[in-house]
Amino acid sequence: MNKQVIFEDLGEIEYQEAWDYQTEIFDSIVAEKTSNRKKEDNGIEVSETKNHLIFCEHPHVYTLGKSGKESHLLMNQTELDENKISYHKINRGGDITYHGPGQIVGYPIFDLDNFFTDIHKYLRFIEEAVILTLEEYGIKSGRIDGLTGVWLDMDDRIKSRKICALGVKCSRWVTMHGFAFNVNTDLSLFKNIVPCGIDDKAVTSMQQELGKELNISEVKSKLLVNLANLFDFDIQS
C-alpha cells in the first residue's frame, strides 16, 4: 500500500485543461492496476500505484454532473458568453455547481486500494478535512443527513448553507474530481444555477462568514495538513 501522495498546486487554470490533466493521471493509474492484475496472474511482482492530489482555482465555470438536470442552469449560451463563463457537462456524480477564483478546488486522484475501499468513508474524510480547517478559523460546520458537502447551521432548515461541495467519480477504486471549497468566492455567480440541484438552501464562503478576505494560500496549507492526517499519507511535492 503506497501512502505517498504527489501534491501539486496548479494555481488558476482553465477547467478543461485541469480536467484533461487529471483524466490523464486517472487513466494511467487504472492502466497500472490492470497491468498489475495480469502480473499477479502470471506470478510476476506488481508495481505500486501512485496517488495524486491537485489544488487549483478555475476561471468562472459551471459544471453539470452526469445525474444533473440542464434546467438547473438558469442562463442561456448567449448570457454565458457575455459574462465569460464556461460550461461543461462532466462525468462526476452530482448536479450542477460553480467554480471560480477564490475557491479551492481539490482533485484527489487516489487508488483507494492504498487506503481503504469505501467510497462513503472517502467522502466523509474529505468533508472532515474541510470541517477541521474551518474550525481553525472559528467557523463551526458539519453535515446534513442525505446531503453531501459541508454546511453551516446544519441543524437549522432555514439558515443552513453550503460552504463546500463534493462530486466524485470512482472506477476500479481510483478516484477523480473532488471538492470545491468556498474561501473568497464571488457568491453572486451561484444565483445563475440551482446549486447541486438544491433550491431551498443557500451557499456561503469563509469571506462571507468572517467579513474579511482570507489568505487562500494559508487555508490551502491547513487543508492539506488535515487531509494528510485523516488519510494518513505522506506529501510529495
Could you read off the pLDDT tens digit of each residue along the chain, which spans 237 residues?
Answer: 899 999 999 999 999 999 999 999 999 999 999 998 888 777 887 889 999 999 999 999 999 888 788 888 888 899 998 989 999 888 887 788 899 999 999 999 999 999 999 999 999 999 999 999 999 999 999 999 988 999 999 999 889 999 999 999 999 999 999 999 999 999 999 888 886 655 557 899 999 999 999 999 999 999 999 999 999 999 998
Task: Judge whether 26 and 72 are in contact, CB under 8 Å.
Answer: no
Taking the model in full, what pTM does it have?
Answer: 0.93
Q: Which three cell numbers, joined as nine digits, stand for 217?
A: 494560500
Domains and CATH numbers, the chain: 4-231 (3.30.930.10)
Active site (catalytic) residues: 196
- By C-alpha distance, which of 193, 215, 216, 217 is closest to 203? 193
Going along the chain, which residue ranges are E strands? 4-12, 52-57, 61-64, 86-89, 96-99, 103-109, 142-144, 147-152, 161-171, 174-182, 202-203, 234-236
As a whole number of angstroms, the longest Cα–Cα distance in the chain is 61
Task: Judge whether 195 and 97 are in contact, CB under 8 Å.
Answer: yes
